[in-house]
Chain A
């Protein structure tokens, strides 16, 4: 088989162009993630939209995924074991109608836990994620007293085999980080939302609330949703539908 001079030139040009563009494409992908030196930006406000009509009894893929992602293990002491996310059953006593929904840190715009923390260990990142700096948390638990959502856990005993991206330790307080490590590396999703979509009922949607092009922002604009304890006016990053 012979190849014409014209075809050879065409193939060569395509190869050169591809070689030139490919790294660029890769660079575009990488641009989703922040470099460690780059600060979180107020241009984003990360959050979740949870549809309690889709969420069902008995399904716990979101909880399992979260606990696997962060290596949160049980010591079979439910009152002192950490739970970053839990499935809540809420039944209307008049009608008997029952809602099932996951509850985790609501990532408030005005978080009471951050207000009360004496050392500033509880803090809110510019992109709306509420976190605990485990290096300066003294374990006073005042944030747990202040949180309206019971979202925080105190680490009551020694833990081992922590993941490198989730610093955790006995004597400090922790809660849902909105998978900040995944956001920072550009995954653009949380473990709970991924698991719910893949294995569950597609009830949890993660996204940037401030970018009107995202699905979460569009749905929040066109469909009804609400905050838990909206009377407290905390402007939560996690919103619920169907309640």
Chain B
């Protein structure tokens, strides 16, 4: 294997600053939306007393889940000893932190009282999985930060494996915690399932790797660095397996629910007659977000084009957002079963499907979080050596034939 050298990107080109400027505009739009929502109150959003978590939460949970998944590439290298992944470890860890920060920013800015953030960081109810998550999220940034340090500081290399193992265990715990936010909600038909936590872990593998692949291809293309087929193909096949695994978990989740008479209502709602949620499930999550990407990842005429491959990964991201839309918003839209078996009505929407239409402010707040993640990562690769100069085939795999 050739000597691997990391360096910073120059980051002086017009293109670089334009890109950073675009991310800046996204962030500004997100902050503006948050300000608009906070000053007027949440009535200006699509959220209400039945759909209490909306589009901001879809983006936030997606980014948080993807964050732990983005770290996977590093874990495969340092925990499971797959040397081919090691050159990607720094970028993997960087994206993990950036995505998490973006997701948390959305969550905080959507709070009814974001000015009380300090309270949530100083007063804990340890029976709440949310309180645990606050510790898990802030701890994740610290643990992955140390992991990056052991990769970059020469005399700390001996601690690299231990730090990598620590980060790996931490990320599994973190995603379990995120899945449990929903898995612990006994009252709601869509959520009361232990499979939520492992399903969120496998979702994180898929979403995180999809973002990693897009970011890797885009960065190496824009900076003119060599990126060989060996590493890209390895990541492509892995992403395909993750997409199939998510489908498997979705299948098991629905089959289990279909078997239980008490859950037949929510299953019918999501799979058959839930209107927008049924459409988002079948068209956006399953067809556009899973089956078409699989076609792209496994049919040579598609995956040989880097642009097409990135598009496939982008569809996985879209499918992930759709999946979280169905889980988070569809799960709330289905009415609470306070009187099982009865036809119920009230002035408070009892027995009725909840109304929700995401407003531009909510979508912009979500995109603002994506902007924070992208801006943070794009700025970090300019100031610290995260990227290998080359990821050509002969660099990542000594047995491969040289890149032509």
Q: Please tell me if the beta carbons of B129 and A139 are within 8 angstroms of each other in the complex.
A: no
Minimum CB–CB distance from A188 to chain B (whole Å) comes to 28
Q: How far is the CA of A99 from the CA of B346 in the complex (A)?
A: 12
**Docked pose: A103 CA to B348 CA in angstroms:** 10
B90 within 8 A of A: no
Q: How far is the CB of A79 from chain B (nearest CB, A)?
A: 4
Contact digits for B102-116, partner A, Cβ 8 Å, 1 yes 0 no: 000000000111101
A172 to B332, CA, bound (A): 19
Kindly report which residue of chain B lies nearest to residue A172, judged by CB atoms: B112
Q: Which residues 313-366 in B have Cβ within 8 Å of A in the complex?
A: 332, 336-339, 341-350, 355
**Do most interface residues of chain B lie in helix, strand or loop, or is the interface mixed?**
loop
**Measured between C-beta atoms, what is the minimum distance from B315 to chain A in Å?**
29
Contact at B112–A118, with CB atoms within 8 Å?
no
- Tell me the bound Cα distance from A78 to B347 in angstroms: 7
Q: How far apart are B53's CB and chain A's nearest CB, in angstroms?
A: 6
State A114–B127 Cα separation when bound (angstroms): 9
Give every chain B residue within 8 A of A90 (Cβ-Cβ). Answer: 339, 342-344
> How far is A50 from B278 in the complex, measured between Cα atoms in Å?
38
CB-based contact B130/A142 at 8 Å: yes
- Tell me the bound Cα distance from A116 to B116 in angstroms: 18
Task: Contact check, A141 vs B347: say whether CB atoms are below 8 A apart.
Answer: no
Across the interface, B348 reaches (CB within 8 A) one of A83, A145, A243, namely A83
- Interface membership of chain B positions 42-53, coded 1 if the CB is closer than 8 angstroms to chain A and 0 otherwise: 110000111011
Decide yes or no: A146 and B116 within 8 Å by CB, A91-B342, A92-B342, A156-B48 being known contacts: no
B155 sits at the interface (CB 8 A): no
> Quick check: B338 and A149 within 8 Å, CB to CB?
yes
**From B43, B48, B343, residue with most partner A Cβ within 10 Å:** B43
Q: Which of A164-180 contact B (CB under 8 A)?
A: 170-173
B120 adjacent to chain A (CB < 8 Å): yes
In the assembled complex, how far is the CB of residue B357 from the closest CB belonging to chain A, in whole angstroms?
11
By a CB distance below 8 angstroms, the chain A residues around B347 are: 78, 83, 86-87
Q: Contacts A90-B339, A138-B119, A146-B187 known; A155 to B41 CB distance under 8 Å?
A: yes
Asked whether B349 lies within 8 Å of A79 as measured between CB atoms, the reply is: yes
**Known A112-B186, A147-B187, A229-B187: A153·B123 in contact at CB below 8 Å:** no
Cβ A119 vs Cβ B345 within 8 A: no
Most A CB within 10 A of own CB, among B111, B112, B343 = B112
Q: Could you tell me which residues of chain A, from 118 to 138, have a CB within 8 Å of some CB in chain B?
A: 118-120, 136-138
Contact between A116 and B342, CB atoms less than 8 A apart: no
Say whether, besides A117-B128, A119-B124, A150-B50, A86 and B350 are in contact (CB < 8 Å).
yes
Given the known A-B contacts A75-B43, A86-B350, A154-B42, are A140 and B339 also in contact in the complex, defined by CB atoms under 8 Å?
A: no
Provide the bound-state CA to CA distance between A222 and B338, in Å. Answer: 25
Please count how many residues in chain B sit with their CB below 8 Å of the partner chain's CB atoms: 49
Q: Is A29 an interface residue (CB 8 A)?
A: no
Q: Which residues of B contact A148 (CB under 8 A)?
A: 186-187, 336, 338
Are B49 and A80 interface neighbours, CB within 8 A? yes
In angstroms, Cα B184 to Cα A117, docked, is: 13
Chain A interface extent, by class:
35 or more
What's the minimum C-beta distance from A229 to chain B, rounded to whole angstroms? 6
Kindly list chain A residues whose C-beta atoms are within 8 Å of the C-beta of B355.
Answer: 79
In the assembled complex, which residues on chain A have CB atoms less than 8 Å from the CB atom of B343?
A: 90-93
User: Is A30 part of the binding interface, using a Cβ–Cβ cutoff of 8 Å?
Assistant: no
Q: Is the CB of B338 within 8 A of A103?
A: yes
Residue in contact with A88 in the complex, picked from B111, B120, B332, B350, CB distance below 8 Å: B350
Once the chains bind, are B52 and A154 in contact (CB under 8 Å)? yes
Task: Tell whether, in the assembled complex, residue A118 and residue B128 are in contact, meaning their CB atoms are under 8 Å apart.
Answer: yes
Report the Cα distance A99→B119, complex, angstroms: 43
A21 at the interface (CB under 8 A from B): no
Query: Bound complex: CA of A145 vs CA of B57, how far in Å?
Result: 13
Q: Is the CB of B130 within 8 A of A158?
A: no
Q: Given the complex, which residues of B lie within 8 Å of A170, measured CB to CB?
A: 41, 112
User: What is the CA–CA distance of A91 and B343 in the complex, to the nearest angstrom?
Assistant: 5
Asked if B153 is at the interface of the complex by the 8 Å CB criterion, the answer is no
* A48 close to chain B: CB less than 8 A: no
Distance, CA A118 to CA B134, complexed state (A): 9
Contact present for A171 and B125 (CB under 8 Å): no
> Which residues of B lie under 8 Å from residue A183 when comparing CB positions?
none
Q: Check B171 for interface membership: any CB of A closer than 8 A.
A: no
Decide if A87 touches B130 in the complex (CB within 8 Å). Answer: no
Q: Which of B124, B130, B344, B346 is within 8 Å of A140, CB to CB?
A: B130
B18 within 8 A of A: no
Question: Complex Cα distance A155/B347, Å?
Answer: 17
A146 to B192, CA, bound (A): 11
Contact B53 A145 (CB under 8 A): yes
Interface presence of A232 (CB below 8 A): yes
A136 touches B123 (CB 8 A): yes
The contact string, 1 if C-beta is below 8 Å from chain B, for chain A 218-243, is 00000000001100100000000001
Q: Do B128 and A116 have beta carbons less than 8 Å apart?
A: yes
18 contacts between A and B (CB under 8 A): A79-B50, A81-B49, A86-B348, A88-B344, A88-B350, A92-B342, A119-B124, A137-B113, A138-B120, A140-B111, A140-B130, A142-B181, A146-B185, A148-B338, A155-B41, A158-B41, A228-B339, A229-B187
Closest 5 CB pairs between A and B?
A139-B112, A171-B112, A148-B187, A157-B41, A79-B48
Binding site for A on B (CB under 8 A): 38, 40-43, 48-50, 52-53, 111-114, 116-117, 119-120, 123-125, 127-131, 134, 181, 184-188, 332, 336-339, 341-350, 355
Other A-B pairs beyond A90-B343, A116-B185, A119-B119, 16, CB < 8 Å: A86-B350, A90-B339, A91-B343, A92-B341, A99-B342, A114-B125, A118-B125, A120-B125, A140-B111, A149-B336, A156-B41, A156-B43, A156-B48, A228-B338, A229-B337, A229-B338
